[in-house]
Structures are given as C-alpha cells and as structure tokens.
Structure 1
Amino acid sequence: MKEAQGSAYEWLDNMKYSSFHTLIIVLLCLVLIFDGYDSQIVAYIMPLASKEWGLTPVMTGSLASWGFVGLMFGTAFFGFLSDRIGRKKGLVLAIAFFTIFSGSAFFAPNYSAFVALRVLAGLGMGGAMPICITMISEYSPARIRGKAVTAMYGGFTTGWILAALAAIGVIPSFGWRPVFLMGAIPILMIPLLMKYMPESVRFLASKGRHEEAIKEIRKIEKLTGQKPIDWKPEHFAITEVKYTGTIKDLFTPGLIRMTILISGTYFFNLIVVYGLASWLPTLLVQRGFSLVKSYNYGMVQAIAASVGAFFIGTLLDIFGRKRTLIAGYLIGAVSLVLFGFATSGPVLMAAGAAAGFFIIGTQTTLHVVNGETYPTHIRSTGVGFTYTIGRIGSFAAPLIGGTLLAAKVSFSLYFVIFAIPCVLCACCVAGYKTAVKGEGLEQITKTLIRNVDA
C-alpha cells in the first residue's frame, strides 16, 4: 500500500471522473426520474379530476398543493433523519414511502381521499430529494461538482417529460387514474440501491466510523483500479467547528446568512416553477388549445429544463455560482413575460422552452450551492431545511394561480406576475457570501466560518 498524500476528503475531491461516479449519478438519477414524474403528473390530471369531482378553481389548485405539503415536511424530516441513520438508509425509506402512497392514488374515491394520499406520498418524495443532493455533493470531484449535481438532477426533469408522455399516451384512452399506478414502479429500485449504492464516506467519518469509511474507500479503489492507500483514522480528521447536529446550527454566525438567502431563493424560485407547471395545461386549454396539445407544451418545457440544467451546471464550474445563477434568473424572467404576450403557437412554444431552460434549469443548479454550503454533520439537515422553506412556495403557487384565475386575470398578466419572483431570486443570490468555483467541500466550510463578518 502507498501512503496517503493528504486527507480522505482531498482524495475524494481530487479524484478523476470514473465509472464509480457514473454509477452514483445513474442510481440517483433513476430515483429522481420517478420523483419528478410523481410531482408533475398531478398537473395533467387536474382538468379531468376537477370535472369528475366538481371542484372550484382553488380546490383544483389544491390537488397539487396538498402534495407539496407532504413534500415540505418530508424534505425536512428525511434530511434530518439521513444525518442520523445515514444517506443510504434514509433514501431507501423515502422511496418505500412515496411508492406505496403514490400508487394508492389510483383507488382514491373522492377529493378528500386523493389529497390525503398525495400528502403521504409527498413525504417520501420530499425526502428523496435532499438525500440525493447530499450524496452526489459528497462524492463528486470538486472541479465538476456543478455538472455532476445537475446531471443527476436531470432525472427529475426527465420525470416531468415522462409525466407528459404518460398523460398524452394514457389519459385520453384510459382516464387519469392509471398514470398513478406507474408511481409504484420505484419499489424496484430498492434492491438496486441496497446492492450498489455506497454509504457516504463523509457521513461515516463524521460519525467516527472510520473503519467503515475505509471499507467504502476500498470499494472505490477497487472499482476505479487505483492502488490501495494506507488509510488511517487521522486521514479523516476535520478542522471545522463542532456542531450539535440540530437545525439551530444552520443559524450560527458562519451560516445564518447563507441559510436565509438560499431559503429565500428556493421560496421564490419554486413559486415560479409550480405556478407555471401546475396550471400550464389548464391555462392553455382556456386559451383554446386541446388538452393533448397543452400536454405537448408541458413536455417541451420539461425537455428544455433538462437541457438547461446541464448547460447551466457546466457554466457554474466555469464562471462560478453567483454570476451564473443571477444571469439565469433574469433571463428566465424575461422569457416568462415573452411567453405571456406570445400571440402565435411557435412563439409560445419557443418562449415556453426558454422559460423552462432558464427558470427550471437554474433552479436545478441551485441545488449545487445548497449541497456544498453546509458541513458534513448537518449537510442533509441544511439541504432539507432550506428546500423545505422553498416548498412553502411550491404549496402556495397553485393556490395563487387558482386565485388569479378565479379573479379572471388575463393570460399575459398571469405570467408577468409570476416573473416577479425570478427577479427576487437574483437579488437573493447577489447576497451570497461565497462565489464557489472548484473548491472542496471542507474548504467551502472554512471560508464560510472564517468570513463570519463578511
């Protein structure tokens, strides 16, 4: 065995991209495909479910909003849980939870039963998200973390595409209920994760489980063909300040500013994303498009979001986080206004694609910043907490949209109103304490703690 030339964390940050990283990205991407599918499919069944149950516009919007209530609490709970029991166990539990209750929506006899099942499914869906972000952040080489996180998260927007395809292919012939049976498919992911997904080395080391951390590194060395290194407990030492592992740590002097600003960015961003996503099919039907054609617009927007996420994620690693995110949000705001004032089908399609590319694509890359801001002891808790605050926005957005429709605002004004939070997102990002570009996770923590008064 050769001697270690630095800490285990530096070794992880400086690794060359390999089949090991591809394995992690693919597994987590598959999880998020189903997560994205389940979060978006409700938008496509809203017009039919509303007609079947005789719902008001606000009640129709709540079909999506109640799922976001579950997402909100699930994000916080499972983020906290995975900092206690581990990333792998937490992820498996979250998948099992949303699989059972998502598939059960097929049998919902009425509005009340449906929203109850959506709340329960949302707990698991919300839980999977912060754990996936945390795991990929802790294993990605520092120089390509932006690309790795956004490539993985592309699974979520791919799930949106599959939701649109399912709506186009299934709903016109078989009704809206069968699309929820597809939400039960992720149960097949659990054996794959148990066999192939490693536990986070950083998590194990943060709990003092150095022997287990070394075993995980040995697996990585073997998979990537590297010569074994003589790892010792001292290679897992960290110089970061000690945390209690509770939510109050997120509001310590070194982290409070980033916690507030990241939470604010998520909040305003998710208002836009779900104000757009939840009501787009309904708005387009009211504008004179057929139901199936409205689904096509949703699919184009989802495809653009997937491409945008990876493109903007690449720019993060080149130009840094702050400049890239600010530009993405401002261009997204302009795209949304253009969408509202579009007068022809092709222009509407192009503006909608641009809105998906920049607004949803930039929201995806925000996960990169969130995953690298917090120390290992509280990383999943921090990711979960800030995203939970954002989920308040996703809960409010469909209700805001329903209220605007009930007030009979014009198509154009609807999208102008939802462009405003994009500008507020850019304002939040402008206040971030760090402009990361290629630093290791432990170095980012040191910078935040050192610049307490910055």
Structure 2
Amino acid sequence: MQVHAGAAAGASPTTLNVQALIDQNRMSPYQYVVLFLCFTILALDGFDTAAIGYVAPALVAKWGVARSALAPVLSAALFGLAFGAMAAGPSADRFGRKPVIMVSTLCFAVFSLATAYADSIQTMAVLRFLTGLGLGAAMPNAVTLMAELAPARHRSFIVNAVYVGFPLGAAAGGFVAAGIIPHYGWESVFLLGGILPLVFLPVMARVLPESVAYMVARQYPASAVAGVLERISGKDLRHVTTFVPGDGGKAPASKAAAGKSALAQNLSGRYLLPTLMLWTVYFMGLLIFYLLTSWMPLMMKDVGFSIEKAAMLTALFPLGGGVGTLVGGWLMDRLNPSRVLAFTYLLAAVLLVAVGQSLSGGNVVAFAILVFAAGTMVTGAQASLPALAAPLYPTQARATGIAWMLGVGRFGGILGSIVGGVLLGMQLPFSVILAILAVPALVAMTALIVLAARIGPASAITAPNTSSRSIEFQ
C-alpha cells in the first residue's frame, strides 16, 4: 500500500502530508474523544477560575471583611492566569502540548484543594495566584492541541466547541455554589474544584495525544507520528518514512524568522499588527467578563437578591457564552471570522446597556433574559478568539501566539476586577456601571475591524487536496 496525501510533485509515495490527511477525512471517533478531553479541561478550568466570585459573598459574611478587602483575592488568580499562559505557550512550543497540559492541570488541582484551607485574605490571595498559574497554562494548550488535530474546514466550530467548556464550567460553578455553600460552606467549592481534575488526570495521561503538527515540526520518529494519525484516519501508515507538516498555519517568512523565538516571530513582520489587535480584543473582553463575574453577585445582593439567587443570575452570563461560542464558530467557518466577531461585540455593547436599564423596571425575568443574551455575545465572542488566532501563526509559534493573547488579555481581567471594586466604592448605579462596560466592547469591535482589513478572506471550505484553510496578509 502506498500513501501520498498532498505531497509535492515528485515526492516519494512514502511521504505523507499530515495536515492534508486530517483535512481529507471527517472527524473520527478518536478526534471526538480528544475534543471531549480538551472540553473537560476547559470546563474544570472555568469552574476553578470563576469559583472565587461565587464564594465572595459568603467570605464577606463569614470573615466579616469589607467587600473592597476582597479585591486582592479576586485579582490574584488573574495575575497567575496571565503569567501561567505567557510561560506555558513558549514551553509548549518547546516541550510539547501534552506535557504542559498535564503539569498545569495537576498544578491547579493541588492549589485549589489548598485554597479550601485558607484562613486569611493574604493566604487565599497567594493560593489563588498559584492556582491561576496552572489555570492559565492549561487553557491555551488544550485549545492549540485541538486546533492542530481538527480538519481545517470545520476548525473554528471544533475549537469553539472545546472553548465552550470554559463558560459552561464557569456557569456550573454558580449553580453548584448556590447548592452546596449553604450546606457545606464556601470551602466545598474549592475542594470540588481540586478533586475533579485529580480524578480526570489518569484518563488524560492515557488517552490524550501529542499534536502531530508539533511532532513533525520537532522531527519526532515517524512511528510516533504514524501512531496518532492511524488512530485519526483508520489507515495503516507503518510504511510511511517521511511526514511533512502541510502547516495548518504559516511557514516562517524567512530563514531569519525561523531562527527567532516563537514570541519574536509573533511580534515582527506580518504578524505584528494582527497580534496587537488580538491582544486588544482579548484584553477588552476579559475586562468586561471578570468585572461582571467577580462583582455582579455583590451588586445583586446590594439590590435585594439572596446570595443563592445572586449566584444563579450571575451564572447566566457565562452560560449564555455556550450558545454564542457554538454559533460563532459555525458562522466563522462560513463568513469572514473577524467581521463576525466585530458585529458580535457591537451587539454586546447594546445588550450591556439594556441589562443595566432593565433592573430598574423590577422585571426579574426580563433581567435574566438580557443577562443571558449579553453573555451570549460577550463570552461567545471571547471564546471564539483562539479559533480566529490559530490559523494566523506557524506551528512552531502557534501555542505562544494563542497563549500570549490569553496572557496579555488576563491583565484586562485584572483591571476589570480592580475597576469593579472602584466603581462599587463610588456607589454608582448598576445601570451606569453597565453603560461604562459598553465602551470596551466598542474598542474590541474596532480592533476586529482593523484585523479584518489587515488579513485577506479565508477560503470557505478547504478542497480535499489542500492542506489547510489559507489566510493571506495584505
């Protein structure tokens, strides 16, 4: 049997283009298993990341501290998320996606368990920072791994299906917190957030593969690459002696670029402006997301809701992102991805203003619907950005490109947590705070319009004999 998928003319029949093979086939059962594993990693990540916002009212009541005193705790994990992501991207481009995912998951599991035993704000802040290091490292590498194993024609939807685990995990945290805190205390949320990933780790170790694009780029033995591709394609590839990447992203612009670090590649030449625009969008989106998820339970409590109802209403915001992420991925595979997300942020700005206005009318049902709708836009657009970013970067710099977008964006989350405390301290009306949040949504929209003008349109559906969806820089 001879295998020749997408190789250049004259190439040996024992040469196989790995991206062409992935693109020519439908998603296999094994790829769906990997999708489920990556989805679960992000769901656990989302649960642990959002946990502190849901337990904040209980901490205020039990420890007898002012709300503003919790600001270091609320922002500590976000600093960890930022530094964890920025360190994990280059690490994954050097050591592989799977090892970094495993280590980071173990890290956030252990420190989440330790957080349950914190007895002061200072101790909890340190533990939340350490938890954040693991949380920040896990997400970009799970997304990168799935992007590199997905057929190009459905990549946006598949990557978004993975990323939807994060808002769903964050939303589940609200419902779980509302159910267990009254019975078992705030500690139970962190205990659960640590036990679940520890139980899941052995499954990940056994089933999760390394990225074939990474293995080819790092010149792994042909047998290692074939082992993963055989599980994906169901074909016998034992006689293939040479694998070529058919890079699902971009090759380095020059030999000089190939010699640069992954981060240096992303911040030079044709990658610089798209990188800066992606950083801007992610920064603004997380500013909105973390201000609301961190402080909305306290805002709701201030206007008369119980702790349980405040947590459940706040959970509707990230829950809406599940719908927005899947619909966004479907549209991005068919239309210009940057323009799809720009329009989404415009709708987000309108809905954020509407949420603020709706509470004054006293209609809780209308308020809940608008919170869900605003979350659909904000969280859905935010969760779609890794799918937008993945094809822009070459394999050897892709994990860094996605991870640094997430890492730099985390500082927007940090700013959101701090600004939320300041705005509450100013005793501004809820409607004014939500109107202010429309501004970063419009800034994100503008950055995406610039990005759409900078890159050429992606081909709609990759033909069977092509290696990847192509994005050309103008």
Write the distance in 1 (CA, Å) between the matches of 2:201 and 2:221: 26
Amino acid at match of 1:310: L
SS at match of 1:311: helix
Q: TM-score, normalised on structure 1? A: 0.94
- The residue aligned with 2:216 is 205
- The residue aligned with 1:18 is 28
Amino acid at match of 1:382: G
SS at match of 1:408: coil
Per the TM alignment, residue 235 of structure 1 is displaced from its structure 2 partner at its CA by: 3.1
- The residue aligned with 2:364 is 345
Q: Pairwise mapping of residues 319-330 of structure 1 onto structure 2 (< 5 A)?
A: 319-330=335-346
Write the distance in 2 (CA, Å) between the matches of 1:134 and 1:439: 21
Write the distance in 1 (CA, Å) between the matches of 2:162 and 2:349: 25
Per the TM alignment, residue 210 of structure 1 is displaced from its structure 2 partner at its CA by: 4.4
Amino acid at match of 1:253: G
Write the distance in 2 (CA, Å) between the matches of 1:278 and 1:236: 43
The one of 208, 229, 233 aligned to 2:242:
233
Per the TM alignment, residue 4 of structure 1 is displaced from its structure 2 partner at its CA by: 0.9
Counterpart check, 1:299 vs 2:333: no
Poorly superposed stretches of 4+, deviation over 4 Å: 437-444
SS at match of 1:279: helix
Write the distance in 2 (CA, Å) between the matches of 1:273 and 1:437: 32
* 1:171-200 alpha-carbon deviations (Å, 9 max, x no partner): 112221111001112012221111111110
Per the TM alignment, residue 101 of structure 1 is displaced from its structure 2 partner at its CA by: 0.3
Is the Cα–Cα contact under 8 Å of residues 78 and 414 in structure 2 kept in the other structure? yes
Per the TM alignment, residue 213 of structure 1 is displaced from its structure 2 partner at its CA by: 4.7
Q: TM-score, normalised on structure 2? A: 0.90
The one of 20, 32, 37 aligned to 1:27:
37
Per the TM alignment, residue 52 of structure 1 is displaced from its structure 2 partner at its CA by: 3.1
Per the TM alignment, residue 300 of structure 1 is displaced from its structure 2 partner at its CA by: 2.5
Per the TM alignment, residue 35 of structure 1 is displaced from its structure 2 partner at its CA by: 0.4
Q: CA RMSD in A?
A: 1.9
Write the distance in 1 (CA, Å) between the matches of 2:133 and 2:366: 38
**1:226–1:364: structure 2 CA closer, same or farther, 3 Å change rule?**
same
Q: Pairwise mapping of residues 47-446 of structure 1 onto structure 2 (< 5 A)?
A: 47-184=57-194, 185-221=196-232, 224-226=233-235, 228=237, 230-233=239-242, 235-236=244-245, 240-241=251-252, 242-342=258-358, 343=361, 344-432=363-451, 433-434=454-455, 435-438=457-460
SS at match of 1:319: coil
Amino acid at match of 1:123: L
Query: Which has the larger displacement, 427-436 or 113-122?
Result: 427-436
- The residue aligned with 2:2 is 2
Amino acid at match of 1:396: L
**1:5–1:395: structure 2 CA closer, same or farther, 3 Å change rule?**
same
Aligned residue pairs: how many? Answer: 447
Write the distance in 1 (CA, Å) between the matches of 2:167 and 2:386: 14
Per the TM alignment, residue 266 of structure 1 is displaced from its structure 2 partner at its CA by: 0.5
**1:439–1:370: structure 2 CA closer, same or farther, 3 Å change rule?**
farther
Amino acid at match of 2:19: Y
Q: Which ranges in structure 2 are unaligned for 5 or more consecutive residues?
A: 7-16, 253-257
**1:209–1:225: structure 2 CA closer, same or farther, 3 Å change rule?**
closer
Amino acid at match of 1:427: T
Structure having the larger proportion of residues in helix: 1
SS at match of 1:365: helix
Write the distance in 2 (CA, Å) between the matches of 1:123 and 1:215: 33
- The residue aligned with 2:255 is none
Amino acid at match of 1:198: P
Write the distance in 2 (CA, Å) between the matches of 1:234 and 1:34: 35
Per the TM alignment, residue 67 of structure 1 is displaced from its structure 2 partner at its CA by: 0.6
Q: Which ranges in structure 1 are unaligned for 5 or more consecutive residues?
A: none
Is the Cα–Cα contact under 8 Å of residues 215 and 225 in structure 2 kept in the other structure? no
Is the Cα–Cα contact under 8 Å of residues 375 and 442 in structure 1 kept in the other structure? no
Per the TM alignment, residue 243 of structure 1 is displaced from its structure 2 partner at its CA by: 4.3
**1:166–1:271: structure 2 CA closer, same or farther, 3 Å change rule?**
same
